[in-house]
Chain A
Amino acid sequence: TQLLEQSPQFLSIQEGENLTVYCNSSSVFSSLQWYRQEPGEGPVLLVTVVTGGEVKKLKRLTFQFGDARKDSSLHITAAQPGDTGLYLCAGAGGYSTLTFGKGTMLLVSP
């Protein structure tokens, strides 16, 4: 069973601060996806990283995929209250199944 360790599990910060969320595995994934989930809704895709060493930016969010395709990170610059939510990383397996990390709950206070 492939496992994804996500850290931290919970993060409470003030508006304007920077933060990084980590997603680590001992297994290699063909791709890694980051989702954001708001209360009462299903997860929504933020980004997919496929190539080792890849860096993708989505406004204030920067995603990196490790060279060995076993780990990834999400960095948020100048966090805003609208960034509050549960951030999930997920590694792609056979038949396009996904293995999810346990998630990072981010709370950004004004």
Chain B
Amino acid sequence: NAGVTQTPKFQVLKTGQSMTLQCAQDMNHNSMYWYRQDPGMGLRLIYYSASEGTTDKGEVPNGYNVSRLNKREFSLRLESAAPSQTSVYFCATGTEYSNQPQHFGDGTRLSIL
């Protein structure tokens, strides 16, 4: 009963390096989301995918790309990491109904030096 699984849990990168954050769900939800959480800033939406095969920009998409590989998996890629992208990244899943909750993974803590 994993729910939403994010890998890796921790990562340290050097400026300019690239990496992909992975997210997989077994909730059978159509929608998936990537957020970043910074101190005092709450959660800000980076990208989302309302259904398999579609992706859309959120509030803070610059410097990121996403891929909805299939219904279960939604990845977030940093092509050239910058110190400003140091953050905790959360993946979430949900249904198409706005009164239903989103279900979050435990986050990936990313530091960029």
Contact = CB atoms under 8 A, between A and B. Distances in A.
Interface of A: 1, 6, 9, 30-31, 33, 40-45, 48, 50, 88, 90, 92-93, 95-103
Given A42-B92, A88-B42, A30 B106 contact: no
A102 B59 contact: no
Identify whether the interface residues of B are mostly helix, strand, loop, or mixed. loop
Interface of B: 4, 31, 33, 35, 40-45, 48, 50, 56, 58-59, 90, 92, 94-102, 104-107
B43 A97 contact: no
B98 A96 contact: yes
A40 B38 CA distance: 13
B42 A95 contact: no
A95 B106 contact: no
Nearest to A47: B101
A95 B43 contact: no
A89 to B, nearest CB: 9
8 contacts: A6-B42, A30-B99, A31-B98, A42-B90, A43-B90, A45-B102, A93-B98, A97-B48
